[in-house]
Structure 1
Amino acid sequence: METAELSPFVYWSQTKQTLSLKVDLKDAKGVITEFTPTTLSFSANGTGARGVNAYRFRLKFYERIEEESATYTVTDHKIEISIRKEEPGWWVRLVATPQKPHWLKVDFDRWHTEEDAEIPEPAARDVREDYAEEYQNLQKKEIGYVREKTKKVYLVIYNLAMFVGYLHILIVMGVMYLRDGPDSIKHAYEYVGTSFKFVQLMQYMEVLHPIFGYSKGSPLVPFFQVSGRNFVLFLMIEMEPRMHAKPVVFYVFTIWALVEIVRYPYYVSQLLQRENGLLTWLRYTIWIPLYPAGIVCEGIILLRSIPYIEETQRFCIDMPNKWNITFDMVLFLKVYLLLLALPGSYLVMSHMSKLRVKKLGRGRAKAKKN
């Protein structure tokens, strides 16, 4: 016989900027609090209203929270959870749905009355968002499938197409290597150069996505990332035929493609809300060996290109000219190499390291020892 899931009593209060939850659980062990911007999942073993048992609950918040700043404190008699609201303001209730769980109570010791702060009337809300699972089940029963937003469908198709593109490149290079052995390395650009140029140009769509509201974040981050690769691909490799047969081209193509065949399926899993532990781990771990290797390969390509540019004076502008300017591409590449090797690599590594800590403890709040 299946055992019913037990939930502890939870007492909540708020200020304009924060939420406070008090979980009525004594001698709690194995506390896990997992956050997303809209939900909290809690589980622990301890002594609650039904004696010594495993207790758990899940809350969908009325508005969004800052998941990365959430903390909890475990004492002998309770667990206190502190959460910061994404947008300051008074919530009319804690949970998204009008009906609150029977185990959720108001913490009157910390509660602010209407005299302390004006709490607004509930704003009009989309019932389909508050009851998302029930609405999806109803759609499946009535029309046989779930209607998805056009933006979501487009992003799924885009990410799948990009995954197929990079997978095709890896398969072609792998098959050629199995057939011809190390001799195939110098023919990498001949085999997959055109395909690589196409998928790299397509990545500029990721610069447009945040501009048109298809994704969050700044368009500058993907712009600089994509442009950095395309600078190496189109200006250093494509424009100099003598670079095509260099082994480093094979290696940099392999590294770039390996990063992307993990990144794009991860995005698809997030869009479909199908979290995969292995895929998430790979997304935020595979960069540890691949990013440094990629930076080294890109640096070698730039270094190997300098003698060719000195010889051909490609991209260099000398006086006199109608613009009355000069530009030394060799000097530019030396400065670019210096920036790539020092601050550039540090910024990329530190950014990914922070994301890894956040995502692999995904939503897991920071614990404060009492």
Structure 2
Amino acid sequence: MAATVTPEVLWAQRSSSAEANKNFIYLTINIPDVPPSNLKLHIQPTSLTFTGHSDSLKRTYHLELEFYGEIDPSATKINHTSRDVEMKLFKKELADAYWPRLLKESKKVHFLKTDFDKWVDEDEQNEAPEEDLSNFGGMDGMPGMGGGAGGDFGGIDFSKLSGAGGLGGGDESDEEHSSDDEDMPALEGDEAEEAEEAGEKKDESKAAA
């Protein structure tokens, strides 16, 4: 019988009171070797439910998140690779301030970590380079979307959403984004400490340069 586990989730964010395309959450669910046919993703304005099964690893991944604020499910962008599912979830309310945390409930959870590869401090986000989103596909016209309020993505060909790379085509980038527990940031909750750590890392890299 396949084991059911909670996958590791990485997140970062941007915010804007004027531009909707700069007001979003980066969310990455690490689920190695899960084919598109074994994915089910249900996105609602305040929550996300994900289930994926890996035949080779004999493992079922299940995740339920309740967000701190509302998002616009119809604007979600997705990229599926052989290692993970990456998403851009656009915040419904335009605001300059960051969400204080990803989840509604203020508690630490072992599977949720800050994505320092994508994280920038709130007061430095306007100077951050634009992310390359060429591999992301939108959700317009996808079956099962239920009018843009949410939907199940069971059986959808994610490779058609993922640009030229598609499923299994992102091995090189996967290596760059591989996660080692020793390199992982702090758990969800202490955002102030995380931001401070990120700033120290940036200062060290500038000094080394």
Q: Secondary structure at the match of 1:26?
A: coil
Structure 2 residue aligned with 1:70: 76
Q: Give the Cα–Cα distance (whole angstroms) in 2 for the partners of residues 117 and 360 of structure 1.
A: 32
Structure 2 residue aligned with 1:299: none
Question: 1:102 corresponds to which letter in structure 2?
Answer: H
Structure 2 residue aligned with 1:196: none
1:29-75 Cα offsets, whole Å, 9 max, x none, are 21111011100001111389xx5401010100000000112232111
1:228-261 Cα offsets, whole Å, 9 max, x none, are xxxxxxxxxxxxxxxxxxxxxxxxxxxxxxxxxx
Contact 1:34 1:362 in 2 (8 A): no
1:303-338 Cα offsets, whole Å, 9 max, x none, are xxxxxxxxxxxxxxxxxxxxxxxxxxxxxxxxxxxx
Q: Give the Cα–Cα distance (whole angstroms) in 1 for the partners of residues 147 and 51 of structure 2.
A: 18
Q: Post-superposition, which runs of at least 4 consecutive aligned residues in structure 1 deviate over 2 A?
A: 2-5, 364-367
Question: 1:63 corresponds to which letter in structure 2?
Answer: G
Q: Give the Cα–Cα distance (whole angstroms) in 2 for the partners of residues 38 and 5 of structure 1.
A: 24
1:265-298 Cα offsets, whole Å, 9 max, x none, are xxxxxxxxxxxxxxxxxxxxxxxxxxxxxxxxxx
Q: Give the Cα–Cα distance (whole angstroms) in 1 for the partners of residues 24 and 52 of structure 2.
A: 23
Contact 2:2 2:58 in 1 (8 A): no
Structure 2 residue aligned with 1:143: none
Structure 1 residue aligned with 2:110: 102
Contact 1:9 1:24 in 2 (8 A): yes
Structure 1 residue aligned with 2:43: 35
Q: Give the Cα–Cα distance (whole angstroms) in 1 for the partners of residues 39 and 124 of structure 2.
A: 34
Structure 2 residue aligned with 1:9: 8
Q: Secondary structure at the match of 1:116?
A: helix
Q: Secondary structure at the match of 2:146?
A: helix
Larger radius of gyration: 1
The answer for unaligned runs of 5 or more in structure 1 is 119-353
Q: Does 1:363 align with 2:156?
A: no
Please identify which structure carries the higher helix content.
1
Q: Does 1:44 align with 2:79?
A: no
Higher relative contact order (CA 8 A, sep 6+): 2
Contact 2:42 2:48 in 1 (8 A): yes
Distance 1:98 1:38, change over 3 A: same
Q: Give the Cα–Cα distance (whole angstroms) in 1 for the partners of residues 120 and 152 of structure 2.
A: 25
**Aligned pairs, how many?**
131
CA RMSD of aligned residues (A): 3.1
The answer for unaligned runs of 5 or more in structure 2 is 16-22, 127-140, 167-209
Deviation at 1:91, TM superposition (A): 0.6
